[in-house]
Structures are given as C-alpha cells and as structure tokens.
Amino acid sequence: MAAVSGNKPHVLAVPLPAQGHVKPLMSLCRQIAKHGIKVTFVNAQSIHHKIFSASAAEEEDDNDSDANIVMTAVPDGLSPEHDPNNPFTLFETLPKTMPQTLPELIERINGDNPDQKISCVIADLSFGWVSEIAQKMGAEFVGFSTPSFASFAILLHIPNLIQQGYLDTNGSPERSDMIRLSDEIAGWRNNEFPWSFPGDLKHQKIIFHCVQSYKAADKANCLLSNTCYELEPAACDLHPNILPVGPLHLVEAAKTPEKSRSNSGNFYAQDTSCLIWLDTKPSGSVVYVSFGSFAVSYEQQQLDELALGLELSGRPFLWVVKRDIANGPHAEFPDGFLERVAGFGKIVEWAPQDDVLSHPAVACFVSHCGWNSTLEGVSKGVSYLCWPYFSDQVHNESYICDKWEIGLRIDCDENGIRSRYEIKKKIDMVLSESRFKENALKLKETCAKSVAEGGSSYKNLMTFIDHLKESA
C-alpha cells in the first residue's frame, strides 16, 4: 500500500525480542536515520529496559547521530506466572498483545506528528503478522530477515514441506529425506532446520509457529536481508524481491565511529577490559570463545571439557561465559582451573565482539555459528571452530566448513560430548593449516567490497533509502 501522501518519511521498526534480531535491525535503522529519515524503534518493555541498562553501564550518551531515532516500548504481556528470564516467553506473549498495542502506538505517534506520520513499517519476518497492522494503518510493509538467506528460503518452503508430508504441523520431521533447495545450497537433515530444537519439543513448537510468520514475505513490498549477495548467490537468486543489505554490522562500522554508537541494541554491558588484555598478546595467538546471547545451557561435564580443552591447548584464550551457560545458578569450573590458566586465559561475561574479532591478536573463533556471529567473524577474516547448538546454526556451519572452507567442526564423541582432546586437536589443526586463514581473508575482502560505495549491498541500501524518501 502506498504511504500517506505528502508525509515526511517516518519508519516504525519492530524486531523479534532477541539480541540477534534487535542488533541488525538497529544497525539498519541507524543508517536510515543518518539520511534524515525519522525512525521509531519499538521493543517489548523488558527488552527496552535491558538495552538502556546496558547502555548506562557502558556510560554511553545520546548524540546527534541518533537524533532521528526514537526508542520506545510496548507492554510485554507478561503475567505473574511467566518466567521473565525465559527468552521464549515473549515469542508467545507479544503475538497476543501487539495486535492491539501496536496500532494504539501508531495512532498516538501519528496524532503527535501530523506532518510525519508512520509511512513504513519494517518488521522482523518472524513477526510477519505485523503486515496486517501496517496495512490497516495505511503504511507500507517491509520485511526484514536476520538469518542467512538460505535459512530464509527454507522458512518460505514450510507450507510445501507440510503439504508434501515432510513435516507435521509442529515442525517435526515425518520423513528422513534430506531437503535441498538447489544443488548449490547445502541440504537440511531432519534435525537441522532453523526451527529444530533437539530434545525440546515444547520450544521447537514455539519457534516453528513463530517462523511460520515468514509467509508474510508475500505481502511485503520489499524484503531486506542481513547478508550480501556474494556470500550466498544461489540462495539470493531464489527470491526476486530480495535486497541483501549486509553485513549490517560492517555497514555501521564503516559509517559510524565507535564512540558515537549509542543505543546499539546490546542487551548486556560489554567488558572492554578484554581489549586491553588482547593488547598484551602476540598477533594471531588468541582463541576467542563465545556462544552468543541466547541462553544455551550445557551440562557441567561439557563445560568442564571445554575448560580443560582450552587449558590443554596451551594457547591464550578469551572466553565469554554468561551466568546461564551451564545448568545451574552459575558456571562452575574444574578445580584449580582458574588458577592454572591465570597467566594466559581471560574470562568475561560479555565482550565487545566486533572489536574483539577485529583485534590482531585473535587467531580463531570458537562459535555457536549464529548468523550474526558468522558475519562478524567472516567480515574480520578469522578462522572458525564450529560448535552449533540449534536453529540455523548447523546450516551456517555447512557454509563455514564446506562452502567457504574457513573452519572446522568440533565433533562429539559417542556420548554426545565434545572432549578436551577433540577441542585441543581442532584448535591445533585450524591454526596450523594456512588455507583456513587465506580463505577467511578472501571473504573479508568480499564483505568489505559489498558495503563499500558501489558494492552490491551499498547499492541495495541506497535504493531502499531512496524509495523511503520518494514514497512518503
């Protein structure tokens, strides 16, 4: 639907309430705002609070670069029975409450800004039902996709997979066949779909019913994706309306000085002391370990094996250990571990990952292979050791190890444990074989060209921004 005639452009942005979804959409919105377009960024109340708490802890201040961005919130829809620390809770409550609260917010914004009414709604496609709200309020709907475009494509394929008997209505596989979208794209086994949550059918059902909202892509005038064409051309060619505009963190880094990036979308305060620690380490020596923001709880045995594997490697390591990394109230390390590694290991609760991966001391990235982390590492030219957990991470691992050849899998033993010896072996292998680093540096150059002036993502982003201005 066309935007309101005579309106100055005003974008309403609605992310999925997860760190890996909020940050890339915020990066996109900051670039839109830098071109004079007002943006209202809408989070659930609890997420809004997390972002501003983290920002305050880092002593960030608002500044002129954010003058066109307004951060606001809608109620969570949480009741006393809900666990506020369960990341899946908002995936269930917001689709029930936002269909009422979001139109009310838009009406209030439009009433307060008669010359700058909401002309475009950019929503995470996991909340694709927002398209109906946009249409009702007379605004253009634009879909935003945060995973790889291959993962986006398989989500669009869900209705066919159900119809053909590959899946039941809860996303569980009914057949063992590998699903392939083309010969150039790695296939999905029956426990490797973006909604797969091994051993936890309840949460798989929540994710599956959430991602089915991607069917709203057909209602979008435009589809923006946090990827670049050169990284996955075969996948991007599957959909005619796709505009790859990423890697968005790289766009922001190129155009926004670090000191002026406030309201960056971080849920956690970053411990910048690790950057000073990295300054003391030789170039290409440090193993960086981080499994992302999503709550992934490991059994104590697995946490012990990871700790002892890092110690056994004898290499400097920087390890991000969130409080909820292990089953229990807090992480516990093997007896004497912290004392033994004090001279070459550093543990923090949250790190400024983009800066860490840019640091010359970092040699490789032990990662869960979430798409944001994948893009951040790829754009910095680092090698990978892959430790996927669920969702799209296993398919991203295929890109890393098989397609791009910039890393290795850390394999499980017969008991499902990644042993200390396997961890040490793979660290030694990835750092001793030059081909991984050479391939990673080529991809770094590819990503840099895509967001530079004249590059594919740069052109797509400028095309979209021009469209916002012209259609308002």
Q: What is the DSSP string of 369-400?
A: --HHHHHHHHTTT-EEEE---STTHHHHHHII
Q: In the predicted model, is pLDDT for residue 266 greater than 90?
A: no
- 299 pLDDT band (50/70/90 cuts)? confident
Cβ atoms of 216 and 444 closer than 8 Å: no
pLDDT of residue 328: 55
Q: Which two tokens stand for residue 277?
A: 């620690």
Phi and psi for 191 in degrees, rounded to 5?
Answer: -120, 20
- Assess whether pLDDT exceeds 90 at residue 407: yes
- Give residue 450's pLDDT: 97
The pLDDT score that the predictor gives to residue 265 is: 82
Strands (E), 131-253: 140-145, 222-225, 242-244
Band (369; pLDDT cuts 50, 70, 90): very high
Which structure tokens are listed for 444?
């770094």
Beta strands in 291-333 (DSSP E): 317-320
Q: Above 50 in pLDDT, residue 295?
A: yes
As a whole number, mean pLDDT of residues 60-71 equals: 67
Residue 260 is predicted with a pLDDT of: 41
CA 244 – CA 273 distance, rounded (Å): 35
Between 362 and 85, where is the model more confident?
A: 362
pLDDT above 80 (res 106):
yes
Given a contact cutoff of 8 angstroms between Cβ atoms, the answer to whether 385 and 291 are in contact is: no
pLDDT of residue 471: 85
State how far the Cα of 257 lies from the Cα of 73, in Å rounded to an integer. 27
The pLDDT assigned to 58 comes to 62
pLDDT score, position 303? 94
Q: Whole-model pTM?
A: 0.92
Instruction: Round the average pLDDT of the chain to a whole number and report it.
Output: 90
Domains, the chain = 10-265+451-471 (3.40.50.2000), 273-432 (3.40.50.2000)
What's the rounded mean pLDDT across residues 402-411?
97
- For residue 49, pLDDT over 60 is answered with yes
Task: Give the residue among 124, 140, 102, 106 at the shortest CA–CA distance from 5.
Answer: 140
The yes-or-no verdict on residue 84 having pLDDT over 90 is: no
Q: What is the pLDDT of residue 130?
A: 96
